[in-house]
Amino acid sequence: MHIEKGSPQDTRDIARLYCAAFPASVELFFRGKPREKLLDLLELTFDLIFAWGGEALLARSTEGAVLGYCMYFSPRGLLSRRKWDKMVATAGSMMGKVGLLEAGRLLRNQVMMTLSTRHTKKVPAPRSQARILSIAIDPSSQGKGVGTLLLQRVLEKLEHQGVVLNVRKDNPAGRNLYARAGFQECGFTRDLSGEWIMLFKEPTSY
């Protein structure tokens, strides 16, 4: 296994891994959607994240299969990484692939998260800190240290920056992973599928 930088060319593999790692979320927001259409939509979603300035690290097996990914934003150089024309084109393509019911659930989910967010600890302003957006490990590779290695490498890239992320309250493995890495609870929020714990890690030098 090795860790490498991800790119927009990897978004189909990332979309497949997302579906495998988060079947409950897929069922909640996209129930009944044909698999290829679902992958098309998720691929565009991750394309949009890259176009907005997001970055990714991938864990690959020696055979080249993607075992895990971590997508994140870093405020350093964010504007220089953004591709505005790509964002507009990708967002337009996504609109044609999201059904009205799906769009309604996604919008209701975002509104719920915004309204239910509560901070229990003061953290730096969002623009001054990095954010881990999504980290997923293929179910067949979970418990083998893939997530630990991915997180370690991402945090090395985000040295000297505060880092925030959300983790499901009912995800003890994830909570333990982040606690071991030095994350502390700083608040909570809720969406259609349950409660999230908001975490923050102080800037660290490696």
**pLDDT per residue as tens digits for the range 154-176:** 999 998 899 999 999 999 989 99
Tell me: the pLDDT tens digits for 128-138?
789 999 999 99
Looking at residue 99, its pLDDT comes to 85
Interatomic CA distance for residues 85 and 89, integer angstroms: 6
- Asked whether residue 186 carries a pLDDT value surpassing 80, the answer given is yes
Tokens representing residue 17 in the block = 């891994």
Domain boundaries, the chain: 2-201
Tokens representing residue 156 in the block = 């090395």
Distances (CA, A) of 159 to 10, 130, 164, 179: 25, 10, 13, 17
Over range 47-68, report the average pLDDT.
93
Looking at residue 126, its pLDDT comes to 65
How many Cα atoms within 13 Å fall on the side-chain side of residue 37? 11
Looking at residue 80, its pLDDT comes to 81
Residue 186 φ then ψ, to 5°: -135, 5
Strands, sheet with 163-168, edge to edge from the N-terminal-most edge strand? 2-5, 55-60, 66-73, 130-137, 163-168, 194-201, 184-191, 118-119
Tokens representing residue 120 in the block = 């229990």
Looking at residue 155, its pLDDT comes to 94
Over range 101-117, report the average pLDDT.
92
Q: For residue 202, how far is the Cα from the chain centroid?
A: 20
């079947």: which residue's tokens? 23
Count the Cβ atoms, other than its own, within 10 Å of residue 105.
17
Query: What are the residue ranges of helices labelled H in the chain?
Result: 11-21, 23-30, 35-51, 78-81, 84-95, 100-116, 146-157, 172-180
Percent residues over pLDDT 70 in the chain: 97
pTM for the whole thing?
Answer: 0.91
CATH number of the domain at 2-201, out of 3.60.21.10, 3.40.630.30, 3.40.50.300, 3.30.2310.20?
A: 3.40.630.30
Residues 198 and 186: beta-carbon distance below 8 Å: yes
Residue 132: beta bridge partners?
Answer: 72
- Asked whether residue 177 carries a pLDDT value surpassing 70, the answer given is yes
Nearest to 19 by CA among 36, 5, 7: 36
